[in-house]
Amino acid sequence: MIDLRDYDSFEPILDSFEDFDFESYLLKVEDEDIRRTLQKDNLSYLDFLNLLSPKAQNYLEDMARLSQKHYLRHFGRTIGLYIPIYISNYCSSDCAYCGFSKKNKITRKHLNAKEIEKEAKEIAKTGIKHILLLTGESKKMANLEYLLDAVRVLKKYFSSVSIEIYPMEINEYKELKKAGVDGLTVYQEVYDRKIYSEVHTSGEKRDFSYRLNTPERGAKAGFRAISIGSLFGLGKIEKEAFFSGLHAKYLMDKYLECEISLSLPRINHAEGDFKPKYTLDDKTFLQIMLAYRIYMPMVGINVSTRERAEFRDNLIGLGVTRLSAGSKTDVGGYEGKDSSTAQFDISDDRSVDEIVKAIKQKGYQPVFKDWLVQIGEE
């Protein structure tokens, strides 16, 4: 039995499972294993794996009740809202699944400070105060100074600014934090090294280890919130869900001052027409989300507009803590003038007002702003 607190980074934990036979273990899980796991207060990683097994699909109602109990205890009847802003889609990496991949002949766009402000003003009309800044993975186009300027603009309109960009060093993250960034989102995409190398054929993103250690560099830089996850469809579903959850648990145990969140993005259609090898169906998506909540009662769980409106609505109250709303995945998409090629297709195209209404109809309160920098914190 491993103790996650004994490790200095997540990589050796990941490597320790190199010879673990996931398929055999999952198939051997029995009903009694599931029932015993659901009765525990503190779950081991094997308990977590039990909840990801095929047998656990017979216990989704029990898992949902327990997940909801944990959710109400730690988060109340609230759902946080956030909105993304894409400011540059230039990329120096070749990722088979991404619409921004350098191989794709798409409409590229790179916003300057004035254009970013126009987008920010338009987004601010929604009332949402949490914004996620995204770029393609091009250090040349979206260098540190460019990002710092963008953050300074966004901080005039939003109380919380998170970033989802290429991996950086601790000192660079500290500069961004000083400018007003409080959250970092970085997806490993896939925890299987072989598959990772197959879908990342060129560019700096090919460095598996550097990306794997990025969330920890963000935690060491002092970001308030760190969000991670797998891009479901690239690797075996249960295995990817397990490693994402274990990675989150490692970060939660080690960086107690950080809010750790998980996302469950599924591959949607994008430029390049990538066909995923594995399919995450709705029932298994729900199972994974419930397993995350039960294994880590205080973890954040984000569900984006990649998912269908009806499906997202049905997840409210079962463990999800934050929903994106009114999203555009193209650069310049909010102002609607000369926008670019989108990174991927969204599935929930409702307005912010419509999503707010749906949340309230479920008996939950949408939260537009739940973070405020305290005096002396910056």
pLDDT of residue 339: 60
pLDDT of residue 140: 92
pLDDT of residue 342: 58
Q: How far apart are CA 229 and CA 188, in angstroms?
A: 6
Structure tokens at 40: 């525990």
Q: What share of the chain is helix, strand, coil (3-state, %, to 5)?
A: 40, 15, 45
- Domains of the chain (ranges; CATH) run 7-367 (3.20.20.70)
pLDDT of residue 371: 58
pLDDT of residue 167: 97
Instruction: Give the residue from 53, 123, 97, 76 showing the smallest Cα distance to 343.
Output: 97
pLDDT of residue 376: 39
pLDDT (tens, 9 = 90+) of the chain, 378 residues, equals 677 878 889 999 999 999 999 999 999 999 999 999 999 999 999 999 999 999 999 999 999 999 999 999 999 999 999 999 999 999 988 888 887 878 888 788 999 999 999 999 999 999 999 999 999 998 999 999 999 999 999 999 999 999 999 999 999 999 999 999 999 999 999 999 999 999 999 988 999 999 999 999 999 999 999 999 999 999 999 999 999 999 999 999 999 999 999 999 998 765 457 888 999 999 999 999 999 999 999 999 999 999 999 999 999 999 999 999 999 888 988 877 656 665 667 889 999 999 999 999 999 999 998 655 443 344
Q: How far apart are CA 333 and CA 342, in angstroms?
A: 9
- DSSP per residue, 16-74: TTTT--HHHHHHH--HHHHHHHHT-SS--HHHHHHHTSGGGGGGHHHHHHHHHHHHHHH
End-to-end CA distance of the chain: 41
